Amino acid sequence: MSEEKQQMHIHLSKENTAKYAFTPGSPERVKRIAEHLDNPKFIAQHREFTTYEGYLEGEKVLICSTGIGGPSAAIAMEELVKIGVDTFIRIGTCASTSTKVSKGDVVIPNGIVRMEGTGTHYLPIEFPAVPTYELVKHLESASYTKGFTPKIGVNITKDSFYTQTEPETKPVGYDLINRWNAYLKGGAESTSMESATLFTVAASLGVRVATVLVSATDVGTTNRTSGYPIDVEGRAIEVGVEGMRNVIKADKNSH
């Protein structure tokens, strides 16, 4: 494969094309997702972007990590779309911001608070960060199939981990704390760092996207066990893979 044919950051080309992709944040999670697919194979690694391929229902599926936060997530989605991907499921972790979500719960966001900046380079802030409804329904069904009752609700995507966990130490802490409290009063149930960006970028590119997460904490805690995220992340992986299987089957039946 020549350098000219490769996408700049993910180092994939149209020779690697697939319609479907998982976009976890963690490069280490890519291999663990790939193990749930048929004929998994390592494809590329560059910067935070590690990619495997595998098959579900006979269809090739890519798994490409995005790293932490919106800018690199946007890059991964842009370049995957350029090689032909049009359906994305993010598999990740989140922290609880509500007593409705406990550690180990499967979380499927149906809307995201845009406490991030990358998405504003794609669509104005008043444009909502929402997933593709049909993908949410497939993930919901997959969750029940796997024995989990999903928590479907509003998530918060923020750009900085430590301004959430230590806002009082920051020069603009007063604003961060007030905004955060407003989100919680509005019913936001969890927080993570990529989904709003992915939803906004997907909307601007006309592709499908949804997210399935597992909560790594109970509300009010940031301490994670020594097993984090291994001890609970498998739930999100199981639901995400089953959800994508549902999507592929539905696509085949619609043709």
Say if residue 44's pLDDT is above 80: yes
pTM of the entire structure?
Answer: 0.94
> What is the distance between the alpha carbons of residues 192 and 99, in angstroms, rounded to a whole number?
17
- The three-state secondary structure class of 175 is helix
Say if residue 4's pLDDT is above 70: no
- Where in the chain are the domains? 3-254
Preceding peptide of 124 cis, ω within 30°? no
DSSP 24-56: -S-HHHHHHHHTTSEEEEEEEEETTEEEEEEEE
Topology at the third CATH level for domain 3-254? Rossmann fold (3.40.50)
Q: Mind listing the pLDDT tens digit for each residue in 161-170? A: 999 999 999 9
> What is the distance between the alpha carbons of residues 33 and 100, in angstroms, rounded to a whole number?
27
How much of the chain exceeds pLDDT 90, in percent? Answer: 92
Structure tokens given for 157: 């995507």
User: What is the predicted pLDDT for the residue at 56?
Assistant: 98
User: What is the predicted pLDDT for the residue at 228?
Assistant: 57
Backbone angles phi, psi at 36, to 5 degrees: -90, -5
Which residues are registered as beta bridge partners of 143?
Answer: none
Cα end-to-end distance, the chain, whole Å: 33
CB 157 within 8 A of CB 192: yes
Ramachandran area for residue 108 (φ above 0: left; ψ -120 to 50: alpha; else beta): beta
User: What is the predicted pLDDT for the residue at 229?
Assistant: 63
Q: Mind listing the pLDDT tens digit for each residue in 203-251? A: 999 999 999 999 999 987 765 544 556 789 999 999 999 999 999 999 9
Q: Mind listing the pLDDT tens digit for each residue in 192-206? A: 999 999 999 999 999
- pLDDT (average), residues 142-167: 96
Q: How many CB atoms sit inside 10 A of residue 134's CB?
A: 15
> What is the distance between the alpha carbons of residues 70 and 220, in angstroms, rounded to a whole number?
24
User: What is the predicted pLDDT for the residue at 1?
Assistant: 42
Distances (CA, A) of 50 to 24, 93, 121, 174: 10, 18, 25, 38
